[in-house]
């Protein structure tokens, strides 16, 4: 341990601790802009400068490690003045459109300007008018608001390994933009939205679609239907002052009805349905040679996009099962529309997702209109739903609880854990084991699939055969797994893995690109815990026992992977 002083207060910190982290331990907040705990520190903004006591030396707190006996002053007149100057310089080149900005009231730059009491900027205000890039259906890039902090570049390149955004130009002329001076649609962007949740200002954000929804809600000719994704229920509450991980499923159902949706369904139901389809596909590939092994999951559209762009050779390994969002969309406009005697042409189907890539997924050409219409019409992120609730004047915390509509609402514990990394794998194993062996797993908690470790591996013995699985989240971790699979294929013999879950975002959907801002690993873990609690409290915890899923097969689909199920619930991929 190392002895340091922060503003005169002595404390011990671990070796390698930065000044920023040491100050946090001492409950002192040093302001920062380019720093984010998910990313390497690279000291571009200069807001976090501090002084080593007794010297004139100014140090960047985000990337300077403390040394034995160091005494740090985090705030004095000169430091505050320097920080204020940095802020003024940033603001001199920033459109001052806070009132109409997507980050109004939730912007790190705006908050700092408020904290520093900036009333006037001493420098000339100049803006180079650059076109807004809204070419890719999911993410919007407004370069006019970019403050060159570099967080989006670092997360896209270092964390996700996608390299869609880069620094362009040199020195004072450096700007940030889509790779190779392309627009986002022509860049390698896979729409995971991690750039948007890591942007401190309103330069990168989700493509908004809420105005169209208000119009449909007000149209008496239209039946409006909504579904909510697993990870929304453990994060939306943060927008209303609740702790990360607080489960607010039943209040969300009520809020959606008060907003005016006619029917409220739950993506967790179609997650159960996905397990039936994907689990059956896995068993067919394993036991009957019906396709390539390993099987990769397919419910994350950013991973699918990544595979289509980077792993052409492995596309036959990607499950043909649609994601739960899209399965629900197809079931609403076919099975449910018939049952409810509603013309599917007059159904407007909305989903609430933690994800920006889902906005693109619903518009894909590949089988996403198997009802004869676009199966999911519009996607709102968790953040957008929070704004919707506020626009509707709803006091979220005082809402009464209510249930989802059936038969596309009630879900099992297996469906809800989809939202955390490893959840799809765990849910699939619970059902695959039961189908193959004819008996339920003794302990259905499959702990090796849980947690934030980059790549999780395990072997499960199913009826004398070893099933080797891997769970990978955060796209930057995927290349190594994909390369290992390629090497194992080239070598021949027993496959390295049989089943692999891939989720593009760190921690899975709980920290998707559409979730409330500011998630770090602590928040991710809390949100995941909320989902595991939902699972544990569920009366039924395996997808194949969901009585409404069974009903859908009896009344409509026949059996998993039937021709009808294939038509409605499966898709294909393009190179």
Residues that bind ligand HC0 (CB under 6 A): 229-231, 267, 271, 274, 299-300, 323-325, 353-355, 358, 418-419, 424, 508-509, 512
Q: Specify the residue, 109 or 427, whose C-beta has the smaller distance to ligand HC0.
A: 427
- The listed partner (ligand SF4, ligand HC0, none) that binds 504, CB under 5 to 8 Å by sort, is ligand SF4
Q: Which is nearer to ligand HC0, 154 or 278 (CB)?
A: 278
Closest chain position to ligand SF4 (CB): 512
* Catalytic residue check, 243: no
Partner in contact with 302, chosen from ligand SF4, ligand HC0, none, beta carbon below 5 to 8 Å by kind: ligand SF4
- Residue 371 binds what, of ligand HC0, ligand SF4, none (CB under 5 to 8 Å, by partner type)? none
Q: Which residue is nearest to ligand HC0 (CB)?
A: 509
Token digits for 487? Answer: 């090497």
Which of ligand HC0, ligand SF4, none does 271 bind, CB closer than 5 to 8 A by kind?
ligand HC0
CB of 354 to ligand SF4, least distance (A): 5
The total number of residues written for the chain in this structure? 575
Round to whole Å and give the CA distance between 164 and 142: 15
Min CB(72)–ligand SF4 separation in Å: 38
Distances from the Cα of 146 to the Cαs of 91, 142, 152, 192, 521, in angstroms?
Answer: 11, 7, 10, 19, 26
Which of the residues 48, 149, 199, 509 is marked catalytic?
A: 509
- Which pair of tokens denotes residue 208? 């908004």
Pair of tokens at residue 458: 């395990």
Give me the sign of the Cα torsion angle 280, 284, 290, 295: positive
Q: Does the active-site annotation cover 319?
A: yes
CB of 302 vs ligand SF4, minimal distance in Å: 4
What angle separates helix 267-288 from helix 324-331, to the nearest 10 degrees? Answer: 110
CA distances from 119 to 91, 107, 116, 422, 470 (A): 11, 17, 9, 49, 54
What distances in angstroms separate CA 110 from CA 88, 126, 156, 551, one per listed residue? 12, 18, 24, 52
Please report how close the Cβ of residue 419 comes to ligand HC0 at its closest, in angstroms.
4
Q: Is-catalytic flag, 505?
A: no
Residue 234 to residue 415: CA distance in whole angstroms: 14
Between CA 100 and CA 143 the distance in angstroms is 16
Considering the complex, state which of residue 2 and residue 207 has its C-beta at the smaller distance from ligand HC0. Answer: 207
Asked about 509 being catalytic, the answer comes back as: yes
Give 360 or 373: the residue with its C-beta nearer to ligand HC0: 360
Instruction: Check: CB of residue 404 under 8 Å from CB of residue 261.
Output: no
Cα separations in angstroms, 476 against 311, 395, 421, 455, 572:
14, 40, 15, 11, 24
- Binding-site partner at residue 530 among ligand SF4, ligand HC0, none, CB < 5 to 8 Å by type: none
Question: Known catalytic residue: 299?
Answer: yes
Nearer to ligand HC0, 112 or 228 (CB): 228
Q: Between 107 and 528, whose beta carbon lies closer to ligand HC0?
A: 528
Which partner, ligand SF4, ligand HC0, none, binds residue 549 by CB below 5 to 8 Å per kind? none
Q: Which of the residues are catalytic?
A: 278, 281, 299, 319, 358, 361, 366, 509
């Amino acid at each position: 341990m190392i002895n340091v002083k922060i503003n005169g207060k002595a404390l011990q910190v671990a070796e390698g601790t930065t000044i920023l982290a040491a100050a946090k331990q001492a409950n002192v907040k040093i302001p920062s802009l380019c720093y984010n705990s998910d990313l390497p520190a690279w000291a571009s903004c200069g807001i976090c400068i501090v002084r080593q006591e007794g010297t004139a030396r100014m140090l960047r707190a985000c990337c300077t490690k403390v040394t034995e006996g160091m005494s740090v002053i985090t705030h004095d007149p000169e430091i505050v003045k320097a920080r204020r100057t940095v802020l003024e310089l940033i603001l001199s080149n920033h459109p001052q459109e806070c009132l109409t900005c997507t980050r109004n009231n939730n912007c790190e730059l705006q908050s700092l300007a408020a904290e520093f009491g900036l009333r006037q900027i001493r420098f000339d205000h100049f803006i180079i008018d650059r076109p807004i890039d809204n070419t890719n259906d999911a993410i919007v890039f407004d370069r006019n608001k970019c403050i060159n902090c570099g967080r989006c570049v670092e997360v896209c390149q270092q964390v996700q390994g996608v390299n869609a955004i880069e620094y362009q130009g040199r020195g004072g002329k450096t700007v940030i933009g889509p790779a190779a001076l392309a627009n986002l649609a022509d860049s390698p962007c896979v729409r995971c939205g991690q750039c948007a949740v890591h942007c401190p200002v309103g330069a990168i954000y989700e493509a908004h679609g809420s105005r169209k929804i208000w119009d449909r809600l007000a149209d008496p000719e239209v039946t409006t239907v909504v579904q909510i994704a697993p990870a929304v229920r453990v994060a939306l509450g943060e927008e209303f002052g609740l702790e990360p991980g607080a489960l607010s499923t039943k209040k969300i159902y009520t809020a959606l009805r008060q907003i005016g949706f006619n029917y409220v369904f739950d993506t967790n139901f179609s997650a159960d349905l996905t397990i039936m389809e994907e689990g059956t596909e896995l068993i067919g590939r394993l036991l009957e040679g019906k396709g390539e092994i390993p099987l990769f999951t397919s419910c994350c559209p950013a991973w699918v996009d990544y595979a289509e762009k980077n792993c052409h050779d492995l596309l036959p390994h990607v499950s043909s099962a649609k994601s739960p969002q899209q399965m629900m969309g197809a079931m609403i406009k076919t099975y449910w529309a018939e049952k409810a005697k509603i013309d599917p042409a007059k159904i407007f189907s909305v989903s609430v997702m933690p994800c920006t890539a889902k906005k693109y997924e619903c518009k894909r050409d590949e089988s996403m209109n198997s009802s004869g219409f676009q199966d999911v019409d519009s996607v709102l992120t968790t953040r957008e739903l929070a704004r919707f609730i506020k626009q509707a004047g709803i006091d979220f915390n005082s809402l009464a609880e209510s249930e989802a509509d059936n038969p596309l609402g009630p879900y099992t514990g297996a469906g809800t854990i989809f939202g955390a990394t490893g959840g799809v794998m765990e849910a699939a194993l619970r059902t695959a084991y039961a189908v193959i062996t004819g008996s339920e797993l003794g302990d259905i908690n499959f702990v090796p699939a849980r947690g934030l470790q980059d790549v999780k591996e395990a072997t499960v013995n199913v009826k004398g055969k070893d099933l080797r699985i891997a769970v990978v989240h955060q796209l930057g971790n995927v290349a190594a797994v994909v390369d290992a699979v390629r090497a194992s294929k080239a070598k021949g013999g027993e496959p390295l893995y049989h089943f692999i879950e891939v989720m593009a975002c760190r921690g899975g959907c709980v920290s998707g690109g559409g979730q409330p801002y500011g998630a770090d690993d602590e928040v991710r873990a809390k949100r995941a815990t909320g989902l595991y609690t939902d699972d544990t409290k569920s009366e039924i915890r395996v997808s194949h026992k969901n009585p409404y899923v069974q009903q859908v097969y009896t009344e409509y689909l026949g059996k998993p992977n039937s021709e009808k199920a294939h038509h409605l619930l499966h898709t294909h991929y393009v190179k």
